Amino acid sequence: MNPWIPPRLPIRLRFAIVCVFSLWASHVMAASREAILPILQMVDYIGVDYPEFVQDGQVLNAAEYAEQREFSADIRRRLDDLPEVDGKAQLIESAQELEQAIARKADGTYIQNLTADMTENLLRQYPVSLTPVKVPDPAVGSRLYQEQCAGCHGVTGRGDGPAAQGLTPAPTDFHDAGRRSQRSLLSYYNTVSLGVPGTAMASYTHLSEAERWALVFHIGQLYFDDTQKQAGRALWADTPDMRRIVPDMGTLVQTTPEALAANHPDHAMPLLAALIDRPALLAPGQDRALTTARQMLDAADQAYRSGNREEAARAALSAYLDGFELAEATLAATDRKLMAQIEADMMALRNAIR
């Protein structure tokens, strides 16, 4: 029994308090991260690389094309092994179409759109937690990059490090506009976590999850210059509507520059530059909301223990309206089902207090 939750509280109130405090530590997942991450990585790889090596129905690099055919078949097989959900059949159909489209040397834009849809649908059907649990630390990311990555990718990320000579394929140039526009931070996280078989890019599972996210955010900000970062910080500070474009950490890590620019051409790049460079800009609102939720649940606890049901009901309502509700979007990006369950139980606890 949790010693700080009084046993006289209604069971639903006890459950809601536990849920709010354990949201980031406990996740109800339809499939394991270990099963989902490789699929996401291969889908992303095909979407980014296929247009470079297949153009106008012609294969420009036979080895790369063969690898993409191999990956598309592997995606389909891995999807077959995932747990049954309502949308699994549609995912498998998309994987079959991807395999067939690559075989017929389809247009690169078609493959990009298909893989983007597959990524979105995969995360919707199997909502594993794929966002940072805590705000990535830029200082940690910078240090890890210089220690672990600069030898191949270069100090500034242009793929020109001293160890890059003779590597095939060459290390990624993080300033390549065409590739960077199609890469999300999540795709970088998958690569850092899993490595790339057949290349010098190793898996970095010896780093903690927090360290990998910090490293990924450092890599992500290399593409942007100081002018873009400063412009983005000014937009974020002066224009509240910007928070609707990138409302939470889940949106930030899962979107690509190309996708965001399609809907917000004037603001996408400076916003991404600022938020990836200083991810803490996204955190204060969420942190304040959850702090308020905790405080008001504590107030409900105290009021209920003292027999003041009216005050307990008021505090419980405030815990939701002034706290939890304001963080729902970010929490949903981590675990939508658990977020919805907590929302339902907070409603039930308000009814129970009455």
Q: Say how many residues make up the chain.
A: 354
Give residue 347's pLDDT band: very low, low, confident or very high (50, 70, 90).
Answer: confident
Q: CB under 8 Å, gap of 24 or more: what pairs does 300-304 form?
A: 300/13, 300/353, 301/5, 301/6, 301/9, 301/13, 301/17, 304/6, 304/8, 304/9, 304/13, 304/353
Q: Which residues contact 332 (CB under 8 A, 6 or more apart)?
A: 250, 339, 340
Mean of pLDDT values over 114-130: 82
How buried is 265 (Cβ within 10 angstroms: 0-12 exposed, 13-18 middle, 19+ buried)?
exposed
Task: Report the distance separating Cα 270 and Cα 76, nearest Å.
Answer: 37
Q: What is the pLDDT of residues 182-220, one digit of tens each?
A: 899 998 998 888 888 788 898 888 888 889 999 999 999
- What pTM did the predictor assign? 0.61
Question: What is the per-residue pLDDT for 156?
Answer: 95
Question: What is the per-residue pLDDT for 235?
Answer: 94
Q: Which residues contact 228 (CB under 8 A, 6 or more apart)?
A: 269, 270, 273, 274
Tokens 């898996």: give the residue: 203
Statement: residue 84 has pLDDT above 80: yes
Q: What is the pLDDT of residues 46-80, one digit of tens each?
A: 988 899 899 999 999 898 898 899 999 999 999 99
Statement: residue 12 has pLDDT above 60: no
